[in-house]
Chain A
Amino acid sequence: MKRLEGKVALVTGAGSMKGGMGNGKATAIRLAQEGARICALDLHLAAAEETCKMIRAEGGRAVALAADVTQEDQVQSSITQCLSEFGQIDILQNNVGILKTGGAMDSTVEDWDMLVHVNMKAVFLPTKHVLPHFVDRKGGVVTNISSIAGLRYLGTPYIGYNATKGSIISFTRNLAAEVAPHGIRANAILPGFIDTPMARDITEQNAEDPEAIDWDALDKQRAARIPLGRVGTPWDVANAAVFLASDDASYITGTEITVDGGVSCRV
């Protein structure tokens, strides 16, 4: 039974670094498996194309769009392209996010500005420009990817990233209250420790000797703190996105869904 038959989803950051499986890519694929037609947007066209290829191989419909979500004109033209391709948009999945290491004392102003610029505009701009269309259609769903890093310190100094991810929660709550009268829902997903290229990349960047990283040992160490005993996969995040986009979530708005195996509910 397909839950999103007839819907169109715009997924940002729908490619994945280094060809692996990221949260946006998995979400685009799962939304398509539930019947949605997909606009897969990414900074890197080749990465978005790769996602679309996988969707088409399963019989789904998808188009790749190259755009930088921090650039208003590119966001606007992407939405126009999506509308001319499929005639409508029902689901906006704001998945773009970047991560930089640093605490309050050692973060540079450049890094700070970059995190705020990308992570905040990544939710604001696509939302701002898709809303007029959602209002016309008297419905739509916005799902923003925050993180459990937005709730508390997770053991590595990511102060800029964590602050922007925390602010996505308040952005989403305010958005939900603003647009509910139009029948539009907005929620945030807070992934926990998810095995994606981005997560591996930052671990390598922070290691003294990236070659010497024992990934199995590291995964076991992380898993030991997680009640469910494993690191998450992008599919875990994608399934929550499918649920939130579906009519099963018709009374859910202004809410956070944490997908972290329980790691944030214990000490």
Chain B
Amino acid sequence: MSGPNFSLAGKTILITGAARGLGAAMAHACAAQGAQLCLKDINGEALEATADGLRADRATVRTAAFDLTDFDACTDWVQGIDPIWGLINNAGITNHGHVLDQTVGDYRSIYDLHVFAPFVLAREAGRVMRANQGPQRGRVVSISSIAATHPRPGVGNYASSKAAVAGLTRSLAADFGTDGICANAIAPGYVLTEMNRKILSDEGFVRRIENRTPAARWADPAEIAAPVAFLMSEAASYINGQLIAVDGGMNAFLQSNEG
């Protein structure tokens, strides 16, 4: 009678952008449930430091350092891993600017990392996952953003690429569903990571975000990582094609004044 559980014991999970921030938190959350990890980042040195920390906690960790926008390298990386249970598309960057100031190149470089790399990785990982035995064969979780549905001014390339992540997720769900592979996306609100270092130094901005978040605080990376680990587990076996907000209620709330 007992349903499937939250354990990730023995499951191999690939995480991109795992050197720090949300990716590193996800690595810890998945390792805590028993997953074996294949971590990648463009920053090899930081990645090794994170991997060493995980190994000190007895996790099995393999690492790879390369630029995800090298799609042949993405293909080679995934093809070298078998079996694969999960793929977490997490690596991301920002390159903000007003629409009047942005070039096609500003859009393309963001789309390469946020949309095309996840597509290539999901395609290659999906091939491997399909060969898993049993009704449940794999999971893809991609990190979108609250910006996908509620951008602030000046983030058009970032926000539209994160909306594309949600669209890609729905198509992966539709294509891979019958193979027993679930694809979902998480839309974090504002999280305390290095990515936000610049805006975090702006007191006024920090307060504005707090005022617009019902929870009245920024998220800790572990609070984004735990839902990702849940979606990776067999307990989430019927959740497919969703964009799930993890944002302290921000998406449910439209502040009517500047506050």
Query: A-side interface residues toward B, CB under 8 Å?
Result: 1, 3, 26, 29-30, 33, 54, 58, 172-174, 176-177, 180-181, 192, 226-229, 232-233, 235-236, 238-240, 242-243, 247-255, 257-262, 264-266
Number of interface residues of B (CB under 8 A): 44
B226 and A236 within 8 A (CB): no
What A residues does B252 contact at CB under 8 A?
172-174, 176-177, 253-255
Residues of B contacting A235 with CB < 8 Å? 3-4
Q: Hey, which bits of chain B sit against chain A, CB under 8 A?
A: 1-4, 6, 169-170, 173-174, 176-178, 180, 182, 189, 214-216, 219-220, 223-224, 226-227, 229-230, 235-242, 244-253
Given contacts A229-B177, A248-B230, contact A266 B223 (CB under 8 A): no
Question: Chain A residues near B6 (CB, 8 Å)?
Answer: 1, 3, 243
List chain B residues, Cβ under 8 A from A261: 177, 238, 240
Q: How far is the CB of B182 from chain A (nearest CB, A)?
A: 7
Q: List 25 A-B contacts (CB under 8 A).
A: A1-B6, A29-B1, A33-B2, A54-B1, A58-B2, A227-B173, A227-B174, A227-B177, A227-B178, A228-B182, A232-B238, A233-B238, A236-B238, A247-B226, A251-B215, A251-B224, A251-B246, A251-B248, A252-B227, A253-B252, A254-B249, A255-B252, A260-B238, A265-B169, A265-B240
Number of A-B contacts (CB under 8 A): 144
- Excluding A33-B2, A238-B3, 20 further A-B contacts by CB distance (< 8 Å) are A26-B3, A30-B2, A58-B2, A228-B178, A236-B239, A239-B3, A242-B235, A243-B6, A243-B235, A248-B227, A248-B229, A251-B247, A253-B214, A253-B215, A255-B246, A255-B252, A262-B174, A262-B177, A265-B170, A265-B241
